[in-house]
Every structure is written in C-alpha cells, then in structure tokens.
Amino acid sequence: MKLYAVFGNPIEHSLSPRMHNLAFEFFKINGAYIKDRLIDGSKLLERFDELKLSGANVTVPHKESAFKACDEVRGIAKKVGAVNTIVKEKDKIIGYNSDALGFLNSLKDFITPKKTLILGAGGTAKAIAHALNESNFKTTILNRSKNRLDYFLNLGFECFSHEDFLMDEYDLIVNTTPAGLNDDFLPLDESVLVKILSKASAVYDVIYGKNTPFIKKAKEFNLLTKDGEDMLAYQGAIAFILFNSNSLNEDKIVNVMKEALKLPSFH
C-alpha cells in the first residue's frame, strides 16, 4: 500500500484525508492518506522519508518551504514559488502547485471578476494572483506588512500594505490569510474592510468548513460568498491525478471528492 499525507500547522481541520481516501476506495487503488502536523517546514523532507510516503500535499504555512525542498519543480509552481503537492519519482522529490488551477476552476459558477483584491501575500496568494493574472483579470495585493510584497511588485502587481492602502473598488475580495481559521479575527481592520465590502460584489475565503468572521461580515452586506471547499476539491483532484501518474479522469475525481466533503464524519 502506498501512503500519502498532508502537512501543515494547524492541520486538525483538514478534510484532505476524507477526500483522498474515498477516491482511493472508489478507484480501487491500494493507497491511504493521513494528516501530519508539521511545526518546522525545514523538516518536511525528513518527515516525508520517516513516514515512507509516495506523495504529499502541503498547506499553510509550509508551501514556500516545500518549494525550496524539492529536487525539481514543474509547471506554474516555478512561477509561483510555492508548492502544495509533492510526488516521489524514483529518488527525486518533484513539486507542483495545484492551487492556481483549483482556484480558477472553483470560480466557474461563482463570479467572473473584473478586479480582485487579494488579502495576504503567502504561497496561496501567489498561486491565486498568477491564476487571475493569466486569465487577464486585474489583481491587487494587500498585505499587513511590506516585507512580503517585493515578489508581487517585481511581477507588476499593484500592491499595498495596511499602512499605505489606497481605497478602490473591487468586485471580488479574496482572503488568503489564516485569520478566522482558529480565531475570530478579521483579515483587515474592520473599519477599512467595511469600506471595501460596501463597494464589492463577492468575497472568497480560502478557509473551508467554517463560517469565518470575514464571510459573516460580507453577508451583512448581502454579498455573494464562497469558502475554499470547491477549491479544495479541484486542487485535490489535480493532486490525486499526479499521485497516480496522470491516469485517471479528473471530472470523476472531483465528483468523488465533493461527495466526500458532504460526509458527516471523516472517512
């Protein structure tokens, strides 16, 4: 049996094992998937080897550490500088990023954004910014501090820190920060966020399975809201295909993983 895992901190909330294990069962593949709390991102490969994994997903806050740890990085992950899927090929660790396409696929039945504001500047923000940029959607980055904005500035994105933010109108606001995951914080000062939401059409929180303070606040303005559940299913399907040598039908995997997310308890 091949073993896979998702690494992150925190990781207790992760529904990835539920999705992947049901997919293994559906496709009659001899595999299993677990979650593993990894505190130190620099120990990722050490833990990968210790568990004798064939592949893994990587979530907050280790996507950029995973990028550095890979022997080879492929596809959009090279542009993004963040890896959320790693696969062992012979003696090499190969890195991919399924967040970008997973996010775009999840927008299909939600909104076609003309102008998007991304809150946060980590690995997920990088993937989403690239996905939107490649679809010719205007994108602005807003991060608490300036020290992570150089990456985006060098690529020509409009960027602000909380200190120098200049208000504009955005039809889609995307939260990629962990605010609301294990606390009741908003990703932005409430007075500023309220002004942004008053002119927006929709919000998207990549956090899933929870009615976050960000989503609650958006509902006060009767905005369209979406959490990260569909993105999780789409990016999970891409990862599952990579785990299984690109031999499976993506639509079928997505359907299985969406069904897994509806289960009342972990599968």
Give per-residue pLDDT as tens, 162-211. 999 999 999 999 999 999 998 999 999 999 999 999 999 999 999 998 99
Q: Which of 28, 35, 63, 252 is catalytic?
A: 63
| DSSP string for residues in the chain | -EEEEEEESS-TT--HHHHHHHHHHHTT--EEEEEEE-S-GGGHHHHHHHTT-SEEEE-TT-HHHHHHH-SEE-TTHHHHT--SEEEEETTEEEEE--HHHHHHHHHTTT---SEEEEE--SHHHHHHHHHHHHTT-EEEEEESSSTT-HHHHHTT-EEEETTT------SEEEE-S-TTTSSS--SS-HHHHHHHHTT-SEEEES--SS--HHHHHHHHTT-EEE-SHHHHHHHHHHHHHHHTTT-S-HHHHHHHHHHHHTSSS--
Q: Give φ, ψ of 261 to 5 degrees.
A: -70, -15
Give per-residue pLDDT as tens, 42-78. 999 999 999 999 999 999 899 999 999 999 999 999 9
pLDDT over 90 (residue 9): yes
What pLDDT shows up at residue 238?
97
Tell me the average pLDDT across 18-32: 97
Tell me the average pLDDT across 202-231: 96
Average per-residue pLDDT for the chain: 95
Beta bridge partners of 205: 175
pLDDT over 50 (residue 267): no
Give per-residue pLDDT as tens, 102-135. 999 999 989 999 999 999 999 999 999 999 999 9
What pLDDT shows up at residue 209?
86
Residue ranges of domains in the chain, CATH in brackets: 2-97+229-261 (3.40.50.10860), 101-226 (3.40.50.720)
Tell me the average pLDDT across 22-30: 97
Question: Could you confirm whether 63 is annotated as catalytic?
Answer: yes
Give per-residue pLDDT as tens, 88-99. 999 999 999 999
pLDDT over 70 (residue 266): no
pLDDT over 90 (residue 214): yes
Confidence band (pLDDT; 50, 70, 90) for 247?
Answer: confident
| DSSP string for residues in 242-267 | HHTTT-S-HHHHHHHHHHHHTSSS--
pLDDT over 80 (residue 265): no
